[in-house]
Amino acid sequence: MNELIDKDYLNDLKTIKETIRQNQNKAMIIVNSAMIMTYYEIGTIINKRKTWGSKYIQKLSEDLKEYEKGYSYSNLKYMSKFAECFSKEEISQHPVGQIPWGTIVEIMSKSNSHKKCFGT
């Protein structure tokens, strides 16, 4: 009887661990997707307000320091370029939300279809 309980327990434990991993992965994808859309929306707001020489992005990065890294001057510039070069549909209708932000920045800098946005 103990062997049956141990076998059932081990099967249950395996199933529970697989369920946890699967749902953790789903949660990471959802969080990443929300972050990417947040960055796009921030970039859109920046693009409505920034003017050359205004130091708008620099001031914004200083005022967002309470949110830790992710809102640095250079990252805010990337958000601005991201929103400038891609449409909301390109982002929301494709698996862009599943790609980490650093990878998106790397892709943008090497993309032939968006070279005009990055001056490369």
The pLDDT assigned to 1 comes to: 47
Q: Convert 54-69 to b/e letters by CB count within 10 Å (16 or more is b).
A: eeebeebbeeeeeeee
The pLDDT assigned to 44 comes to: 94
Residue whose tokens read 């990417």: 36
pTM: 0.73
- Tokens, residue 60: 């914004």
The pLDDT assigned to 54 comes to: 73
Quickly list DSSP for 59-100: HHHHHTGGG-TT-SHHHHHHHHHHHHHS-HHHHHTTGGGGS-
- Residue extents of the structural domains in the chain: 2-118
Sign of the dihedral defined by the CA atoms of residues 26, 31, 32, 37, in that order = positive
Residues 39-81: tens digit of each pLDDT: 999 999 999 887 766 788 999 999 998 887 789 998 999 999 9
The pLDDT assigned to 120 comes to: 44
Residue whose tokens read 């949110």: 67
Residue type, 63: D
Taking CA atoms, 98 is separated from 24, 26, 71, 80, in Å, by 14, 10, 20, 20
